[in-house]
Structure 1
Amino acid sequence: MARNLGIVGDVYVDMLKMIALPFMVSAVIFSLQRLFREGGAGSLLARVGAVFVVFSIVVAALGAATLLVIRPGEDLSVQTRQTFGKIVGNDLNSSDTVMSLQGIDAPAKSVNFADVLVSIVPSNIFAALAGGETLKALVFALMFGFAVGQVPSRIADGLTYSLETIYHACQTLMRWLNYPLPIILLCMSASQMAKTGLGPLQAMAQFVLAFAVASLLALALATLIIWKRSNASLGQTLGALRGPFALALATRSSATCMPIMIEGLVDRLGFARSRVELLVPLSVSLLRVGPVIYYVAATLFIAQLYGRVLGPSELAIVMAASILAGFASAGMTGLLTVSLVGLTCSYLGLPFEAAFILFLAVDPICDMLRTLVLVIGNSAAVSVVCAKPLKI
């Protein structure tokens, strides 16, 4: 019965995704247009770049420090290692033997900066929108928004009003969809527990615990930043973050959280709407703090699992590769997000393929934590870029 409840969550998430892309495109275009009219676009974008770099480095260092202190991959019990072996063996169909006598080995797939750069430019914006490719839609919205900002007001005002109508309509739909959220969260949690059971979670409990500690530390730091930047009380800050927190848990989709993130920062905490409406979609797509922490934690866990001791230079490589993989993860979910751990492991020669199924087994829980850190962390980044509001 619990497994069958999953369809409720699937329909709900699809409805949210239906709203997310039109909301993001309309918000970015008319926010950029308004920014160019007001002036100061260059200084704002320079500050955005600096904040994004600092936040990425901080969360990578936080993830590395947590894993080095807790060390979840060391001193595992015999029973836990046997469970790992069963999970990996079942996934690889170890009872089957396949031998290829002829043919050419498929080249190993790798991700480099050039591939990422090519993949984010949409050759067809309508195909990108139809395929739900968030990063490509963002690139189009940014370029189109810059261009619209150069068009005279008497010509561009008609488009501005249309985009603002779409933006407010999407916000209204999102507000309506927030009402059944507690029921949806219950249905999705019950369905996921029925599918996976407790076995994989028990085997990977130490990794999940370490990643949860790193995520909670990042959430606490982000909440503190928002509290100090907003000039609001701690209770008001927590109240403003309650909606994004619950929606991130329920949907595990950062794109669907954008409207409620904007509502919390603007309506509840008083940040400037013209800045927030531009920066929230930009940060959700480019500042991937949740995946960055995850990639650092997963890579160090695999290193500890195989008894590999990493020096300072290797730790720096892990952090840098995790930031790159985080950027490459824009628009990815589930299996694709987890697979990018192989990018960070490749720099150290670690055998990620053997451990891949272990991370998939607990990814529903890790995905919730990644999305939480991304949503709340990006809200903190936006609050740093924006000017402090007047005291509420």
Structure 2
Amino acid sequence: MAISDVAGPLPFDWRLAARRILRSPVTTIAMIAAGILCGLYYPDFAHAISPVAQLYLNFLKMVVLPYLVSSVIFSITAMVQDPKSVRYLGKVGMAVLVVSFLAVLVSGTLSLILQPGQIENPQSRIELGEFINSQGSVSTDLAFPFQPPPSNGDPSGGHSILLDLVPNNVFNALASGQTIQVLLFCLLFGLAMGKIPQPSSMSLTQALNAVYRACTV
């Protein structure tokens, strides 16, 4: 007699099935399509359920910074402490710089050529601004300016871009959501942790790993 005949069929795990469905890319695409159709054909219903959507977005924003900090620091520390991956750090850093430079070059060139967002007619600007601002938080959380903001002279000149990358207070950068500054701090902190002996950095590494896993549950 076969073992499968004795054991019988395995019970259906509803939790595992629901987790697979919710994490499937097909589910994400289907929900995006449903949201677009709902906004186009049932705008009143979309406005009615907008607090639920805003609550979901707030939950996502809540875990972005902990996920970013823990994952970047933990990954950089593990790479630096691994002798096999140290030789690839220079190549990875160079690849990141090259790709970032190419992305800035392409986007800047296309912006200069296509000039997106340029509206020559002042009346069209006013009508577009009134339409966007009338949609409330469902459409946008930003006010649409009718006139360009006044340009103030930058006393630091070209050095302001470099100065803005380095946070003078990492906790203030975390609180204000300065992602670039936080990312730079995480990279430098991860490199510094990688140079510390593993017995000294093990507790913090395990804590960061726990935070990362908690954000991805």
TM-score bracket, normalised by the shorter chain, equals 0.5 to 0.7
**Does 2:50 match 1:11?**
no
- In the alignment, the residues of structure 2 paired with residue 12 and residue 24 of structure 1 have an alpha-carbon distance, to the nearest angstrom, of 19
> What is the deviation of 1:3?
3.3
**Percent identity of the aligned residues?**
30
Q: Separation in 1 of the partners of 2:146 and 2:180?
A: 36
Change (3 A) 1:86 1:62: closer
161, 168, 174: which one pairs with 1:129? 174
2:124 corresponds in structure 1 to 87
Between the aligned partners of 1:144 and 1:85, the Cα distance in structure 2 is: 49
2:11 — aligned with what? none
5+ unaligned residues in a row in structure 1: which ranges?
Answer: 74-79, 95-104, 173-392
Which residue is 1:36 aligned to? Answer: 80
Whole-Å Cα distance in 2 between the matches of residues 131 and 72 of structure 1?
A: 30
Displacement of 1:114 in angstroms is: 1.4
Aligned residues: 152
User: What's the CA shift string for 1:9-40, capped at 9, x where partnerless?
Assistant: 32222211110111111111121111111134
Question: After superposition, where does 1:68-79 map in structure 2 within 5 Å?
Answer: none
Find the counterpart in structure 2 of residue 159 from structure 1.
204
The answer on 1:150 being equivalent to 2:187 is no
The whole-number CA distance in structure 2 between the counterparts of 1:86 and 1:111 is 37
Q: What is the rounded CA distance, in whole Å, between the counterparts of 1:151 and 1:163 in structure 2?
A: 16
User: CA offset at residue 131 of structure 1?
Assistant: 1.5
CA distance, structure 1, for counterparts of residue 173 and residue 107 of structure 2:
34
CA distance in 2, matches of 1:111, 1:5: 47
1:341-380 CA deviation, whole Å, 9 max, x = no partner?
xxxxxxxxxxxxxxxxxxxxxxxxxxxxxxxxxxxxxxxx
Offset, 1:108 = 4.6
**Deviation string, structure 1 residues 133-164 (Cα, Å, up to 9, x no partner):** 21121122112111111111111111111110
Q: CA deviation digits over 1:248-297, x for unaligned, max 9?
A: xxxxxxxxxxxxxxxxxxxxxxxxxxxxxxxxxxxxxxxxxxxxxxxxxx
Measured in 1, the distance between the counterparts of 2:154 and 2:72 equals: 34
Q: Indicate the SS of the match to 2:195.
A: coil
TM-score between both structures, scaled by the size of structure 2: 0.55
Distance 1:46 1:153 in 2: 24
Offset of 1:165 from its aligned partner?
Answer: 0.5
The counterpart of 2:152, out of the listed 103, 107, 129, is 107
- 1:107 deviates by 3.2
Provide the secondary structure at the position in 2 that maps to 1:53.
Answer: helix
Question: Distance between the aligned counterparts of 1:86 and 1:127, measured in 2?
Answer: 41
What's the CA shift for 1:62? 8.1
Q: C-alpha displacement at 1:57, in angstroms?
A: 2.5
For residues 125 and 72 of structure 1, do their structure 2 counterparts lie closer, same or farther at Cα, with a shift above 3 Å needed? closer
Question: What is the root-mean-square deviation of aligned Cα atoms in Å?
Answer: 3.7
2:165, 2:103 → 1: CA distance?
A: 25
Which aligned pairs between 1:1-392 and structure 2 lie closer than 5 A? 1=44, 2-39=46-83, 40-41=85-86, 43-54=88-99, 56-57=101-102, 60-61=105-106, 84-89=121-126, 107-108=152-153, 113-172=158-217
